[in-house]
Chains A and B, each alone.
Chain A
């Protein structure tokens, strides 16, 4: 027997399958043969290892399935297979039905939004929109929408002025006549906002806790309004006690107006303005009463803003700040006012309100990223002061010059987003945005809730249907792990990085970061790291009551991005469609402004807004210091309130004269310059690391007292409105009426922003307890103006 045969026998021996004679043979051999001994050990080990190879478990489902079929004869099984074929046919039918139902729901939902909009325009003006009820395409996708909306509001304006002679421009009404005739109520403000109408009433009597209900004769159509009006439907519902539909049904038929009062009602004699805490009656014509939870303002967080005070150029000649192109504050203010309450002062960032609007600054010259405009005129809220405007206009890009985009939508789908103002609005907005994309652009979608996951891998802008499908599939549910989502989104963005392109994560959330990288420092660190790699962050805020405003602004700021608050579809259109370029394409980064004031002409100055953007004067020339970014087509406007020398000395007595410095004694006659200020700008190219400088000087001769440009008129009016909302100590003789007058004069209103602004001013006026100016100065001539602000402004305009 040769060795090979012996080894085979060895293998057999391990298995105990040898005959006694073979056994003797192999055992004797093993004693003498080293190599076989080694093989024997190894075979033994292999054999025992294989025996111990862990077994996989049969999945319980399969096991049950087989067990159930055990013992059935083959014939039965064959039968069953036939049955199964039939079942699969049934299943197919069911699937087809489900798919078509879903599709129909989607279709109907879109259609409903359009109808709701139509209903609102129908209510505001009967001359328009009669035909629109038949239109089931989302109407806001139609380019006529903005125009129609403006026209319908204008038409409604006329109706109001004729019927109700409401004081002040911009107040609209389509209130049910029956309600107006009811003596128990007095119309407090009757106004329409972009999203429809909210008609507000104050009850005259005390302790009305009974429901008053009446038929709405004027408008046969009405729909439910969700909280802030994103659905742009019928009227707003803001009340303490809910009207049940049973109650309504019991009293009247279904086309009713439910009117509801809070218990505590102010007396009639009190003629002062009503604060938002005063009892109010809101009416809401609608078929069914939707539950409405009043916004919990306490859960929203805003950073405290302490306004910039007046500075003396003798002591602090330099004012330095970083630009801010954010506009979120304005939308947030609008949301508050639409809900019938004044925004908290810290939610009002005046610079963001000013920058919300488009100004007609000249286009930048060839090779320049932006143009600089300066203007000085008299200050509308304090005629003895001057107002200096510094306007930057970023270069506009057309679709040819736009770089390719690598966008990662990072979408919060946590339970808190499950609200018509949040996820559905976001979906609508993104759908519109996707239509702007081109084949060179890439879109990915990452969602986060309990966990983060990618729902759409990088997809070219060509495949809009695929992207829109992915957006449609989003559903809210679960808790929020913002951190993990951000990490994933950045990874996706890096994987699809486009050199020289626009690489950006677009975070859409209500700001709830519950789990994951909740540590703010870690989060900002990460955002900064990726920013340095060329991936920027844009933050879109949605929803109410839970808004972490301060946090979101900071995140966007760190990520070289911008922050927008989107409260309705129009805002979504503005940010993601009309101004997509500015939202997404950075044309200059770290833009800093430094203004040097001439003590010879400027007694003191004050920067309006930009409170959280001020920089130390050394930071201006420090290229390491981060500052705001400017997007394509962005315009940035800053206002300085200036007290000229020779005017009423504001600073006197506030600061003691300096003892060791000469400068306080201004040699006015010796110093021949008539310059008011020198504006210096520093910016970097989007990829640059060293800054470039732009200088511009404004002379006293440039001051045009009452020849305000439209830019100046609009910017100053918005600032004035902001001062009023903030109840600023610097508001002077500012008044809502004056704001309305100023803005009404501005002609260009391409997207209807100004007319919307007028509505807001009207609402704020009715809500604000501070509508009458407060005397600030001892100057009797000024006090005279307070008695008659209207006449003062008329004088001022002539």
Chain B
């Protein structure tokens, strides 16, 4: 059952349907938020806020776009709201150092060994700092592309810009990232078969092989 069908069911009164949607997208939205604001507490607020807005009956999803696009648009707005309020109130509470610590604090799953956790953290740190150096529009574009796997036109819709613009944003982000992410991190991630989402990568590779070669 697609997200679109599920949300329709939810509007008909099936609350379980929304729970399924949440299960599908919780990690994606949370990590999107986390990488946007780089602060765990804020990211938790954002995901909570996002799904609150999804429930909001005054702001119904209409079958104009994909549900995922709509969801991430909401999440993006929640992020922007958060960043604004943080700028307004925050500088004295959320120092960069602190917020970084916040992002570090995590909940390792039980099957990870300590060294795996540390590897993961280190890699995360390097990528995060590379991502943080990107201008915000490039950052959004590349994240929606690489993590949320949205199509270019969806991204364009979300960001409210032209398709050509999205292409350029993503290209520029890649040019910068290939220099700013340390080579060993790239090596680690491309060699490590046990990385977090190997399945997704494999699918991607297949797709790539079919299309590219």
* Residues of chain A whose beta carbon lies under 8 Å from any beta carbon of chain B: 7-17, 23, 27, 42-43, 45-60, 62-63, 65-67, 69-75, 77
Contacts and interface: CB of A to CB of B under 8 A. Distances in A.
A43 B146 CA distance: 12
B181 interface: yes
B82 interface: no
A43 B123 contact: no
Contacts of A60: 107
A58 B43 CA distance: 9
A55 B32 CA distance: 9
Interface core residue of A49, A55, A66 (most chain B CB under 10 Å):
A49
A15 B145 contact: yes
A71 B146 contact: no
A56 B145 CA distance: 18
B170 interface: yes
Nearest to A47: B146
8 contacts: A11-B170, A52-B197, A53-B147, A54-B124, A57-B109, A69-B51, A70-B51, A71-B55
Contacts, number: 150
B22 interface: yes
Contacts of B19: 67, 70-71
B171 A11 contact: yes
A74 B124 contact: no
B181 A52 contact: no
Given A17-B152, A48-B201, A53-B123, A59 B107 contact: yes
B170 A74 contact: no
A47 B205 CA distance: 11
B107 A69 contact: no
Contacts of B192: 52
A69 B52 contact: yes
Nearest to B117: A54
B57 A56 contact: no
The size bracket of the interface on B is 35 or more
Given A16-B207, A48-B190, A74 B30 contact: no
B118 to A, nearest CB: 12
A53 to B, nearest CB: 5
Contact of A52 (B151, B171, B189): B189
List the 5 shortest-distance A-B pairs measured between CB atoms, nearest first: A71-B15, A74-B56, A11-B171, A50-B146, A49-B189
Nearest to A70: B18
Contacts of B40: 56, 59
B10 interface: yes
Contacts of A42: 178
B77 to A, nearest CB: 15
B189 A66 contact: no
A14 B200 CA distance: 15
A58 B44 contact: yes
A11 B168 CA distance: 9
B30 A56 contact: yes
A16 to B, nearest CB: 5
A46 B197 contact: no
A67 B15 CA distance: 10
B107 A66 contact: no
A56 B190 contact: no
Contact of A48 (B152, B168, B189): B189
Interface of B: 10, 15, 18-19, 22, 26-27, 30-31, 34, 40, 44, 47-48, 51-52, 55-59, 103, 106-109, 120, 123-124, 127, 142, 145-147, 151-152, 167-168, 170-171, 174, 177-178, 181, 185-186, 189-190, 192, 195-198, 200-201, 204-205, 207-208, 211-212
B212 A12 contact: no
A295 B211 CA distance: 84
B47 A58 contact: yes
Given A43-B178, A57-B106, A65-B48, 11 more contacts: A11-B171, A16-B208, A48-B201, A52-B195, A54-B124, A55-B31, A58-B27, A58-B47, A69-B48, A70-B15, A70-B18
Contact of B55 (A7, A16, A74): A74
Nearest to B50: A66
A23 B196 CA distance: 31
Contacts of B47: 58, 62, 66
A70 B22 contact: yes
Contact of A49 (B26, B52, B168, B190): B190
A52 B15 CA distance: 32
B211 to A, nearest CB: 5
Contacts of A66: 22, 26, 47-48, 51
Nearest to A10: B171
A73 B55 contact: yes
B196 A52 contact: yes
Contacts of A11: 167, 170-171, 174
Given A48-B190, A48-B204, A50-B146, A56 B31 contact: yes
B168 A8 contact: yes
Contacts of B123: 53-54
B170 A15 contact: yes
Contacts of B204: 48, 51
B189 A56 contact: no
Contacts of B59: 74
B196 A50 contact: no
A176 to B, nearest CB: 64
Contacts of A69: 48, 51-52, 55
Given A58-B47, A66-B48, A53 B124 contact: yes
B177 A77 contact: no
Contacts of B48: 62, 65-66, 69
A59 B44 contact: yes
A28 to B, nearest CB: 13
Given A54-B195, A56-B106, A70-B55, A49 B171 contact: no
A77 B55 contact: yes
Given A55-B197, A58-B44, A71 B10 contact: yes
B15 A45 contact: no
Nearest to B204: A51
Nearest to B183: A45
A12 B152 contact: yes
